[in-house]
Every structure is written in C-alpha cells, then in structure tokens.
Amino acid sequence: MITMKHVLASVFAVVLLAPLMLPSSVWASKPNILLIMADDVGCDAIGCYGGQSHPTPHIDALAQGGMKFNHAYSMPVCHPSRVCLMTGRYPFRFGAEGMKWGDFPDAAEGISIGDRMKQAGYATAVAGKWQLCMMKNDLQHPRRVGFDSWCLFGWHEGGRYNDPLIYTNGQLRDDTRGKYGPDLYVEFLIDFMRQSRQDGKPFFAYYPMALCHDVTDDLKGRQVAYYKDGRWMTYAEMIASMDDMVGRLVAALEQMELREETLILFTTDNGTPAASYLSVGADGKMARPKVFSIRNGEVVPGGKGKHDDTGTRVPLIANWPGRIDAGTQADQMVDLTDYLPTVAEIAGLGDEDVFRDGISFAPLLFGDTRKRQRDWIYSEHRGKRSIRSPQFRLYDDGRFFDLVTDPQEQQALAIDELPDEAKQEHARLQRRLNELKTRAAR
C-alpha cells in the first residue's frame, strides 16, 4: 500500500537526485561570460558615472539594464592590474617576477583565469592587448595560460590601431594593412562566440581592449600609422570608439540570440591618463597633450599612475538580462583580484586548493549582500604601496587621509590628533598593510 509518506519520500528523492540525472551536455546553468577591460579609462570618462565630456551610450545602457558598482578599484597602472585580474593575486605574491613590466609569472601558469574557466568546461578566447609577454618571443604564451584561441597586438612591436601588428593563434597576420585593430579584435571575438554556440559550449571571452591607451612611442626608427590628417586619435575619439566596440559586441550577442544567456562584465585597468600622444611637433618629437574630463560639473585631470581615486577608482558594470536586476547599484568594495573567483563561482566551480587574494562578488550580483565583505583595497606601483578603507587611505610612507572630507588627498592627517575611532581605523589599516608587505607568495 502506497501511503502519502511514501509519495513524499519519492518526491524528495527525485528533487535531490535531479541535478545528478541531468546529462553532462546540459550547461544552461552556466552562462556565457564576456569580460571587457578597457585601457586607461577612469570613471570620469563614463557617462553613467557622471562623465560629461564623452558620450558613452552603449556602456551607459549596460548600467541601466544591470548593476553599477560605485567602489571598484584597480592598480594605478596597467601591468599590475592585469596580473591581478589574470591570477586573483596581488603582483608581489610572485616576487620580482610579478612586478616585472611586460612579463607574466611562471608560477601563474596553470592557475590563471583562462585555466580556471577551462576547468569549468568553457571555450576560452582573448583578443586585444596582452602585455604579459613580448609576443614575438613567446608565440604560444596565451595557450599556456588557458586560452584556446587569441588575437593580440604585438605590444611594443608595432601598432595597435591603424595597420596593426597582430598575432592570431601564434601566427603573425599579414592582412592588417589599411585595417583598424579594434575592428579586428571584435570581429575575432564575435566569430569565437558564434563558433562556441554552434559547438554547444559555454564561452569565456576576455576582451582587454587596446582602447583608450595612446600609441606606443618606443619603436626604433619609426612610428606607428596615423589615424588621419597626420595625427593619431584624440582621447575623445578613442572613448567614442571604445563605446562603439562594446555596442557591437552586445548587438552580436542579441543577433545570435545569446544575450539572455550571457553575463557581461565591463571594467578598466586604471584611471584616465594625464596625457596622450596625438601628433609630431616641428621638432620631430611626439607631442602629448594633457587629458582631462568634466565629471559632475568639475574638471578632473587624468590620474593614471596615482594611488588616489583618479588613478585607481574604475568603472564596473555587470549586466545579465533576467538575472541581474536592472538599474541597481552596489556600494561594496571590489578590486581586480576579485574577478577570477567571481567568474569561477558563476561557472559552477567549487573551492580550490590555490591561494587567491580575491573574494568572489558573485553573490552581490544576485542581491545577496550578506556573504561577502571586502573592507579594504590594496594598491602598489613602482615600490610604493597604499591601502584604503571606504573612508581612509594609508600610504606606506605614513601619510593618512580622510577620503570623505578630503577626496583629493590635499592634507595628510596628524595621527596624534585623530579621534579614537579614526585612530583605531589607522591601526587596523597599518596592521593589514604590514601583513601584505611581509607575507610571502604561496
């Protein structure tokens, strides 16, 4: 005789076993992930962050339809930022290798963001700016750090924009004359996403943009091709092109009917540059006009290279239709080490036996603010280090600033004159900074 107790037990068993009964080919719970990291773009240059100098309608639309983070941070310059994103660790964890410009630590091979996504069954690709090796000397480097395919310009080997010098899957391309690099990077990623759809695999597409970094100035005996009229692109033109590339990728996902199955993350590697190469002067030297933006009615000079908010506070937008609530904002702190554990969690991966500095912010995307707390941000650049909380920043030379009353860090605080609560916060940040300074790589 079948009783209600037996029925309930059977239903309960089916519920428990249902995930185990699904065929391995079903990956509906694993979204595609498009991670975009623009180059040299601070919050001051983005419309949805109060920027008034440069229209960014496509990026603004991602924020309007998703979640905008108000406290996302990077390193002050591009190379350490990329090490953070790729490894989920701060560069000093790898010793001198982690700090070497244009290099990638050998110890990070096998544990990078690309490797992690492949572990989750994703097809992986990267296009744009690599900066983690001299490509001509290491043609297979992206493959060794987890990418199935790649389309990357030769950093400090040639142009990134007009007539770009590009390597695709280990081969130097011979068809780039008269073409525009960002077009080629986006076309490559669109082809990759389309192929992944045909293959029935979720994809992880990483787009470290060339835009909006200016042209290189260190090619011996030659210069890269001009944009037009005997000059390179202005910063405003690069911002417009950056936004256009984002729009093209979103449109392609919609055309492929993948938009609702794709999480898009947009961020940048550091703040806006203080200047950008534009032309060659009468003296034969490259001229580099200053760059500034208007944000919320105030003039903001580019702060790349600085530890303050003009150099390290960056946009972060997360958009996934139907999964991330439209028009939401997050005030929790995030830095670039957090991206690897975040995409790994979203991809369904569990805990790993690898040390990461990063903390997943995946719960925040879906409205759960209880599981994650980051109450400090660490920065390092050329031997200088700082740490900040939501209110204060402490430098390793002892300077201490209240970022609420002095956001431009004009007047360091006298520690002895602080109220007790501020003294306690100073002591807490000092302990943390000391720990980060002495803790060896794991």
20: how many CB neighbours lie within 10 A of its CB? 6
304 closest CA partner among 266, 265, 269, 267: 269
pLDDT in tens, 200-243: 999 999 999 999 999 998 888 789 999 999 999 999 999 999 99
Q: How confident is the model at residue 102 (pLDDT cuts 50, 70, 90)?
A: confident
Preceding peptide of 212 cis, ω within 30°: yes
Q: Are residues 130 and 167 in contact, defined by beta-carbon separation less than 8 angstroms? A: no
pTM assigned to the model:
0.92
Domain covering 32-374 in this structure, CATH number: 3.40.720.10
112: pLDDT strictly greater than 60: yes
d(CA 50, CA 64): 13
Q: Note whether 310 and 271 are within 8 A (CB).
A: yes
DSSP assignment of 47-99 equals GGGTB-SS--HHHHHHHHTSEEESSEE--SSHHHHHHHHHHSS-GGGGTHHHH
CA atoms of 435 and 429, how far apart (whole Å): 10
Q: Which residues have C-beta within 8 Å of that of residue 38, sequence separation ≥ 6?
A: 209, 211, 212, 242, 266, 267, 268, 269
Q: Residue 203: name the closest of 58, 343, 313, 407 by CA.
A: 343
Can you read off the two tokens belonging to residue 316? Answer: 């972060």
Number of helices (H), then strands (E), belonging to the chain: the values are: 12, 21
b/e sequence 129-152, b meaning 16+ C-beta within 10 Å: bbbbbebeeeeebbebbbbbbbbb
pLDDT number for residue 159: 95
Convert the pLDDT of each residue in 334-353 to its tens digit: 999 999 999 999 999 998 99
Q: Are 289 and 35 in contact (CB under 8 A)?
A: no
Task: Please state, in angstroms and as integers, the Cα–Cα distance from residue 426 to each residue in 51, 71, 197, 395, 399, following that order.
Answer: 32, 20, 51, 11, 10
**Half-sphere exposure of 437 toward its Cβ, with a 13 Å CA cutoff?**
14
**Up-side HSE of residue 170: CA atoms within 13 Å toward CB?**
10
Where along the chain do its domains lie? 32-374, 383-438
Q: What whole-number distance in Å separates Cα of residue 128 and Cα of residue 115?
A: 19
Rounded CA separation 400/422 (Å) = 10
How much is the CA Rg of the chain, to the nearest whole Å? 23
Report the distance separating Cα 28 and Cα 41, nearest Å.
Answer: 34
Contact indicator for 347, 362 with CB cutoff of 8 Å: no
Q: How confident is the model at residue 307 (pLDDT cuts 50, 70, 90)?
A: very high
**pLDDT band (50, 70, 90) for residue 439:** low
Q: Could you give the CA distance from residue 417 to residue 431 in angstroms, rounded to a whole number?
A: 20
Model confidence at 28: pLDDT above 60: no
Q: Residue for token digits 């979720």?
A: 202
pLDDT at residue number 302: 97
How many whole angstroms from its chain centre is CA 272? 14
**What is the bridge-based pairing of β-strands 123-128 and 377-381?**
unpaired
How long, in residues, is the chain? 442
> For residue range 357-416, what is the model confidence (pLDDT) as tens digits?
999 999 999 988 776 679 999 999 988 999 999 999 999 999 999 999 999 999 999 999
Angle between helices 235-255 and 181-199 (to 10 degrees): 20
φ/ψ of 364, rounded to 5, equals -65, -35
Task: Judge contact between 40 and 242, C-beta under 8 A.
Answer: no
